[in-house]
A and B are shown apart, each in its own frame.
Chain A
Amino acid sequence: MKKENIHEELEQLSPLLFELKKQGEVMYTPPDYFEALEEKVYEKLEAEGGRITPPVSPWTVWFSPLRLSVAAALTAVVVSVWGFLQPAQVAQAPVAAATPFTLEEEAPVTLTSDVAATYIKENILEFDEDALLAAYLEEDEDFDIQPAPAKKNAKKTTTSTDDLEEILDDLTDEELEDLL
């Protein structure tokens, strides 16, 4: 909602009042009136029964907006910390269920390759890719993971010497002359 300017409003409503307002303030206060006011108020208070500090309602002290805000902020912090701790405890449970070992048990010092391979296969996403690759290249005898066999229809990209000799043996004299 556009805030209507008083001057624009007066100009439309009353040219007379618009002109009078342009003359500015015509009421004044005595010099230093406000500086002396505090003392006059205290004199009046003394005259009317003294400057007794008014009783403050304990309700307004303990349940003041500031105290309530601080209490709400502290509560939010405590709840956030508690909530932060909760997911870490829950996340451990699925991993423990999937593996053949419990969290309390120590993993065996030696593993058979079959058990290790099964474990890796079932939890492949838990492992670091680089660590897996490093383990494969190290040729650890406990982890005898064979590379995947070559696919049947895989295209050969290089030709050996033996292959060449076989091809040449199959060619006729005429085909050889064409090649040369």
Chain B
Amino acid sequence: MTAQRTAIISDEEILALLRGGERTFERGFRALLGKYQERIYWQIRRLVTFHEDADDVLQNTLVKVYRGIGQFEGKSALFTWLYRIATNEAITFLQQKARRASVSMDDEDNTIVSRLQADEWFDGDDIQARLQKHIAQLPEKQRIVFNLRYFEEMPYEEMSVLLDTSVGALKASFHHAVKKIETAFAQ
């Protein structure tokens, strides 16, 4: 299925293929990948920072989607459902990584900066690398809101539906995150 075709296929068509039984399920899954894989990848990458980690998390996410699509009842938008699975997988990954690493917070932050500077899939300067470090230090919810607003430029109204949080709370969360990052840069 070409990228152009998947760009115009609707969620209803995808779900109809996925629910059509063995005959059409594979076509539906491929259509879902074509339409959403890139967007979901970047949601994950913003949380885990490195491409290799994002690749692992994304594959785990898509396997879960493949096996769990039968439980999707359509109460939320398809992307909302995918995004929540991806975010949960990314958060779980970071928690497991932190437990495995068993290093101090300062060491972990410096590791991020040095790894990024050596990462072939990161083309930023030192300030951009420090920005990633400061984002990684944010509380989980603030980090998610910051990534959606700063990198994805998602409107608050859309974010409100995605995260099931009021617009006011999201604005406050983003503003707090911005202030924390500015303070971190100033130190």
Q: Which A residues have a C-beta under 8 Å from some C-beta of B?
A: 1, 3-4, 6, 9-10, 13-14, 16-17, 20-21, 23, 26-30, 33-34, 37-38, 40-41, 44-45, 48, 51, 53-57, 60-61, 64-66
Q: How far is the CB of B15 from chain A (nearest CB, A)?
A: 7
| Complex: chain B residue closest to A19, CB-CB | B127
Is A57 a contact of B70 with CB atoms below 8 Å?
yes
| Chain B interface, DSSP helix/strand/loop, else mixed | helix
CA distance A20 to B135 in the complex (A): 13
Check if B59 is an interface residue, CB within 8 A of chain A. Answer: yes
Are the C-beta atoms of B175 and A66 separated by less than 8 Å? no
Contact check, A54 vs B69: say whether CB atoms are below 8 A apart. Answer: yes
Per the CB 8 Å criterion, the residue count for chain B at the interface is 49
- A14–B182 contact, CB under 8 A? yes
Partner among A21, A29, A64 whose Cβ is within 8 Å of the Cβ of B150: A21
With A17-B178, A44-B59, A64-B15: A30-B121 Cβ-Cβ less than 8 Å: yes
Bound CA span A64–B121, Å: 42
Chain B residues, Cβ within 8 Å of A27: 45, 51, 121-124
Which 10 A-B pairs give the minimum distances between C-beta atoms? Answer: A26-B124, A54-B70, A53-B22, A6-B153, A41-B62, A13-B178, A53-B25, A28-B121, A26-B128, A26-B123
Given contacts A30-B121, A37-B58, contact A23 B128 (CB under 8 A): yes
Chain B positions within 8 Å of A1 at CB level: 157
A51–B62 CA distance with the chains assembled, in angstroms: 13
Q: Which residues of B contact A (CB under 8 A)?
A: 12, 15-16, 18-19, 21-22, 25-26, 30, 33, 37-38, 41, 45, 51, 55, 58-59, 62-63, 66-74, 121-124, 127-128, 131, 149-150, 153, 155-157, 175, 178-179, 181-182, 185
CA distance A78 to B142 in the complex (A): 53
Contact A37 B69 (CB under 8 A): no
* Chain B residues whose C-beta falls within 8 Å of the C-beta of A56 in the assembled complex: 18-19, 21, 70
**Chain B min CB distance to A43 (Å):** 9
Determine whether the beta carbon of B19 is less than 8 Å from that of A60: yes
Which chain A residue lies CB-closest to B182? A14
Inter-chain CA distance A30–B54, complex, in Å, is 12
Assembled-state Cα–Cα distance A6/B69 (Å): 34
B182: contacting residue among A17, A37, A54, CB under 8 A: A17
Q: A27-B51, A41-B59 are in contact. List 20 more A-B contacts (CB 8 A).
A: A6-B153, A13-B179, A14-B179, A16-B185, A27-B123, A30-B121, A33-B55, A34-B37, A37-B62, A38-B30, A44-B59, A44-B63, A51-B26, A53-B22, A53-B26, A54-B66, A60-B19, A60-B70, A60-B72, A64-B74
CB distance from B177 to the nearest CB of A (A): 10
- Distance from B125 Cβ to chain A, minimum over Cβ atoms (Å): 8
Residues of chain A lying within 8 A (CB to CB) of residue B59: 37, 40-41, 44
Q: Which of A14, A16, A54, A55 has the most CB of B within 10 A?
A: A54
Q: Is the CB of A17 within 8 A of B150?
A: yes
Q: How far is the CB of A55 from chain B (nearest CB, A)?
A: 6
**Residues on the B chain within 8 Å of A55, using CB:** 70
Q: How far is the CB of A101 from chain B (nearest CB, A)?
A: 59
| With A26-B123, A26-B128: A41-B70 Cβ-Cβ less than 8 Å | no
